[in-house]
Structure 1
């Protein structure tokens, strides 16, 4: 995981002529980053230090870089998103608080953070994954809000950057990977994941998301929307309440029509939800 502040260079450029000495600002930014990391570690990692059933306490994370506005850390996959969200909220609050103590910056709203996360296995190459992680953080850049971009590696081949992921997950005007998420939007994706984790969906065709996402790509077999409609019909007949919950979760993500998988921009949320669900399954295994 790599996290850094949004618009930091532009922020400091804007201080020229406004402050005679920016060193207190740099110190405040570095302190805000350290404080945010400490808060996230206490809030998210502390409860996981003691292994289930006892044994030697182990912190499920290893910091690689912590300085300035940057944080790079290896940590257990199931904790990554909660850690990133906790850090981002604390970073926004701490930069506002500490900048407000500097003459000339009173009333500053603070900075937001961008996060890139690569979920990987222990035998996959770190260097390439780290480079991808940095590029995903750039993809999450948005000065007005903290955002996150993530990708789960499933094979030996590692995409070089976000553009390559987009190429792998886009076709026919649709994309199965959303480049980045604001944290309030991400909560809606988590709601879809929760619905899709139900046993009723687990026994039906909607659970086979990768196959559903690829349906029709080769030009043979049923069209993707036909596969999707059939899956929804199976779910509606088997579990009407889950079917309604699924449609509502999709609607919250912008998919307003029950007959389609995609929103107005052609984004299909199913694969991103599947990725998050697989992370939970991997940890349980």
Structure 2
């Protein structure tokens, strides 16, 4: 006979929903709405930011008393009650799903309510219950007809901006067009109102609120993040993105933890032996909160290390910060270094945050539960470098694809290392990043760009113009080091270094490879005669990738059975986006 009732909820396609339409102000609103779906329990909020789950529980009154949570962060909820209190979860489900559709119209989600015999059974059945719920797709409302006016940015059915459905208190301060001249669908209108409320809440709180507040290190607490890309289109009171000169390159960074799913499965399996369901659920909640706290602190560390405010405006805009996920828009010259700093800090912060969780695990479930909780986590990141005028919703798809590419390579490296050492369970994957500078049509998946733009020749003659992904921390023999790439970029960026011939060499590789090889050889001869010190630095930087000194071309032997790949184009990408050389920085904080 079932002893527990379980309710599981997950928001899906979060990044795609946030970036829909491609306009920064709408992304800011979508980010705020998603961030406010479910905050961690005990997350004190001195401001008036949205906390949808807490609002629902408050409205339930005493009916919410029996509910215990195993997770409530990152757009996901797992709630448990004893079987006799199942009606409490039924009411929670009815109110939460309604509230999500009202506050965040069009946001996809799945949920399931099911019975279980104990905590282990409850956790084991969760994935299957949610998978079955995927067939129940919520239709966006209102539905479009042949006579419906559509939003040109999203294709959704336009709604009257003054509808009571959206509570008029936000419209007066939102800068929302209430004349009907701009056709907005329900989701976009909700985002615009959310931006206005965030601005209002920030004024009342005297500083940043919600997601923005969690991103700011204490020393930069008075700073703000931008809400608009273009000053000409910005409403009064909006904060405009501080670009560097005429360069409008931005980097969309998406980072995701490695093997968190495997960790949760191992923890849930060990918890099956714990008889106290409340204690087990409390442990899972503590684990989730610890990872979320570590993610936020790692983001703060990266902000402090790589971003400097222009006035009081930081050159970045956070979009997602929850669980082990981070998505942030960063000015192009800072984006790749921000991602690298975040990956290093994530490993450090998770090590600190998980230490007390491991102690609690040993007290609750013995050595088996403690062993299921890793000492630290690593992460992978994908960065899309694109002009701010490009569709940022498409850049979001590409950044997720880059992240999967980087994490996949890290997982294979960890498995290969474990096989070589004849170890049982693979160790932690190294922290890796992959980036792509968009210079042609924006691809939806990195595989398309890798094969179509960055691979020359086919079969045994194939060569690649990128060494993606790069290892930021940890060991992986068959992967290139990000520190080595940064050193190569610093050499090329040295004032007076003759970059023109190298750039022409890269441009000619596809059309005239034989002539390109001759030109590269000639460039080396001239450098050796006139600038031997620079050539030595250049060769030393290439040697870190396995390129022999004096090689006819800057291609090392292929790694792990792959084609030969040069880091030269990646290094030029870092130089061209204006990344500050570490040589010129001399150890100071980035400008």
- What's the CA shift for 1:165? 1.7
C-alpha contact 1:100 1:108 (8 A) present in aligned 2: no
Partner of 2:298: 36
**2:380, 2:529 → 1: CA distance?**
42
After superposition, the C-alpha distances for 1:224-281 in whole angstroms (9 at most, x for unaligned) are 3222211211221221111111111111111115223211101112111111111117
Are 2:553 and 1:260 aligned? Answer: yes
Partner of 1:91: 346
SS across alignment from 1:201? coil
Partner of 1:120: 386
SS across alignment from 2:262? helix
C-alpha contact 1:50 1:58 (8 A) present in aligned 2: yes
Moved more, 123-132 or 33-42: 33-42
Q: Which of 265, 281, 289 is the equivalent residue of 1:13?
A: 265
Q: Which of 317, 320, 324 is the equivalent residue of 1:69?
A: 324
Are 2:456 and 1:160 aligned? Answer: no
Moved more, 236-245 or 193-202: 193-202
- What's the CA shift for 1:86? 1.9
1:106-185 alignment, distance < 5 Å: 108-141=374-407, 142=410, 143-155=428-440, 157-167=441-451, 168-172=453-457, 173-183=462-472, 185=481
After superposition, the C-alpha distances for 1:140-180 in whole angstroms (9 at most, x for unaligned) are 1124211110011123x112212112111112321001221
SS across alignment from 1:15? helix
Find the structure with the greater CA-based Rg. 2
After superposition, the C-alpha distances for 1:60-104 in whole angstroms (9 at most, x for unaligned) are 111111111111111111111222122112211121222211222
SS across alignment from 1:160? coil
Partner of 2:288: 26
What is the RMSD of the two structures over their aligned residues, measured on CA atoms? 2.1
CA distance 1:135–1:23, change in 2 (3 Å): same
**1:199, 1:98 → 2: CA distance?**
43
SS across alignment from 2:310? coil
SS across alignment from 1:268? coil
**1:175, 1:118 → 2: CA distance?**
19
1:166-245 alignment, distance < 5 Å: 166-167=450-451, 168-172=453-457, 173-183=462-472, 185-202=481-498, 204-216=500-512, 222-245=514-537
- What's the CA shift for 1:36? 1.1
SS across alignment from 1:275? helix
- What's the CA shift for 1:215? 5.0
- Per the normalisation by structure 2, the TM-score is 0.44
C-alpha contact 2:493 2:575 (8 A) present in aligned 1: yes
C-alpha contact 2:505 2:519 (8 A) present in aligned 1: no
1 or 2 for the larger relative contact order (CA 8 Å, sep ≥6)? Answer: 1
**1:275, 1:137 → 2: CA distance?**
18
Residues matched between the structures, number: 270
Long gaps (5+) in structure 1: 52-56
Partner of 2:203: none
CA distance 1:281–1:136, change in 2 (3 Å): closer
CA distance 1:209–1:27, change in 2 (3 Å): farther
- What's the CA shift for 1:197? 2.1
CA distance 1:6–1:226, change in 2 (3 Å): same
**1:276, 1:213 → 2: CA distance?**
20
**1:131, 1:187 → 2: CA distance?**
27
After superposition, the C-alpha distances for 1:167-205 in whole angstroms (9 at most, x for unaligned) are 111123210012210126111111111221235533651
Partner of 1:54: none
Partner of 2:36: none
SS across alignment from 2:326? strand
Q: Which of 569, 583, 586 is the equivalent residue of 1:271?
A: 569
CA distance 1:193–1:28, change in 2 (3 Å): same
CA distance 1:203–1:41, change in 2 (3 Å): closer
**1:78, 1:200 → 2: CA distance?**
20
